[in-house]
Amino acid sequence: MAESLIASGGIPFFLVFTGGLLSFFSPCVVPLIPIYMGYLAGNAKVVDGEGRISYNRGKVFLYTFLFVLGISFAFFLLGFSFSALGSFFSRNRTVFSRVGGILIILLGLVQMGFLEFKFLERERKFKLPFDPSRMSPLVAVVMGFTFSFAWTPCVGPALTSVLILASSAQTAGLGNLLVLVYTLGFVIPFLVLGIFTTQVLNFLKAKQQVLRFAVKASGVLLVAIGIMTFTGLFNNITSYMNTLGEAPSGAPTREAPEPEAGPDAAAPDGPDAPASIPAFDFTLQDQYGTTHTLSDYKGKVVFLNFWATWCPPCKAEMPHIQSLYEEYGSNGGDVVFLGVGNPKTDRNPGGSDGSVEDITRFLEGNGYTFPTVFDETGEVLGAYQISAFPTTFMIDAEGNVYGYVSGQLTKEMMRNIIEQTRSGR
């Protein structure tokens, strides 16, 4: 399995593991280590007769294990491409992000000392229940799951690459194995810290002055991360970082053809062929006010391109899309071209682009007439697991996903994947 992955141009498992390891040593994770460890070791503290402090290694390791289990759960949810659970998670990603953002903001305010204050009488205090001594297995899992949202801008590009590779793997088992390898690289350092908690926390205690500053600074960082998670700004940052990381020629997935592959290049068939994946159906309006329902185009091939006005690779390939749109009959033939924009709206303030009016002006100003529908809630982008722009999906005449490509395409590559989808080869 590993040999076929590497031979097909995929990422070797060693590099996937290294990507997870490097994601741990990022500015989103390392500065907050004292907070993680302080909470996870909260009720494992032991003081001997001489006043020396140590921590029950077994209990701390258990909580750390459950903490990383929460992280792993979030990563695997993202890895369940097009499954019912994965689609539900993606479609409700805004809700998860906002809840997670609020929790992270509250934790940051507690760290900064703003949520422990006096009311009326001096001895009465209002305190949020973030008491480390109340750490429990469930709280440890929830903490891991919640903090996985806070690390989006740092782990996003590496994790996205792994998820794209996993979703296009020959088998579901191989895809899950890739996510597991990345997750192991990310969580093993946490487990090591769980083993050496006493030494690490005693070292930090000896540096109390520095630690006090670090805790306050971490609180500020948590509040900033929570605000960005709540507002959806992390989505824009991650999408932009992923766009910068794309190769200019695009990275084909699910056997998407290179331009030199020629018309005889065949998609896999027989027992090794990937199972058909019904395309997520939607009904959206375009820049002309026309309503498009994807399932209405059964019997035709659909070229579905997700893009943004600020994305240089998107802008570079749009003249090719316009040219092919006209060449194939302006959606009057057996090939339909649809762009998909994700404007900011009241329901989706974390949208990946400007307003509907901004996107429409961009299209009109550049003379692009192919229809672009507006995903004003983010549901469609979530269902299609879009994490970078541009991303192009090919939908066959049966309404199934034939394949997709993340990254910029040349005109010949576009023509080639259209013809391959038309012929089913």
Nearest to 214 by CA among 30, 372, 359, 390: 30
pLDDT in tens, 115-130: 653 432 333 333 434 4
Q: What is the mean pLDDT of residues 275-286?
A: 88
- Report which of residues 71 and 266 the model is more confident about: 71
237-248 average pLDDT score? 43
Give me the phi and psi of 308, to 5 degrees please.
-145, 150
CB 292 within 8 A of CB 371: yes
The residue count for the chain:
425
Task: Please report the domains of the chain, with CATH numbers, ordered by start residue.
Answer: 2-231 (no CATH), 251-423 (3.40.30.10)
What does the pLDDT look like over 137-160, one tens digit per residue? 787 788 777 776 666 555 555 565
pLDDT of residue 293: 96
The winner for highest mean pLDDT among 131-140, 145-154, 354-363 is: 354-363
Chain centroid, CA 327 distance in Å? 35
* Higher-confidence position of 184 and 135: 184
Average pLDDT, the chain: 71
Residue among 308, 374, 294, 364 at smallest CA distance from 336: 294
| DSSP H stretches of helix in 41-171 | 57-79, 84-91, 93-112, 137-150, 152-167
Taking residue 106's Cβ as centre, other Cβ atoms within 10 Å add up to: 17
pLDDT for the residue numbered 6: 33
Peptide bond into 390 cis (omega under 30): yes
What gap in Å lies between CA 168 and CA 162, rounded to an integer? Answer: 10
| Confidence tier at 95 by pLDDT (50, 70, 90) | low
What is residue 183's predicted lDDT score, i.e. its pLDDT?
81
Mean pLDDT of 304-333: 94
Taking Cα atoms as reference points, which of 86, 104, 95 lies closest to residue 347? Answer: 95
Please check the confidence at residue 406 and state whether its pLDDT lies above 60: yes
Highest mean pLDDT among 135-139, 159-163, 238-242, 297-301: 297-301
**How confident is the model over 238-255, as a mean pLDDT?**
42
- CB-CB contact of 179 with 81 (8 Å): no
Which one has a higher pLDDT value, 53 or 305?
Answer: 305
Q: Which two tokens stand for residue 131?
A: 């008491």
Residue 166 has pLDDT above 60, yes or no: no
Q: How confident is the model at residue 247 (pLDDT cuts 50, 70, 90)?
A: very low
Pairing of strands 372-374, 335-341: parallel
Cα(200)–Cα(171) distance, integer angstroms: 42
- Does residue 100 register a pLDDT over 80? no
Burial of 37 (0-12, 13-18, 19+ CB in 10 A): buried
Q: What is the pLDDT of residue 154?
A: 55
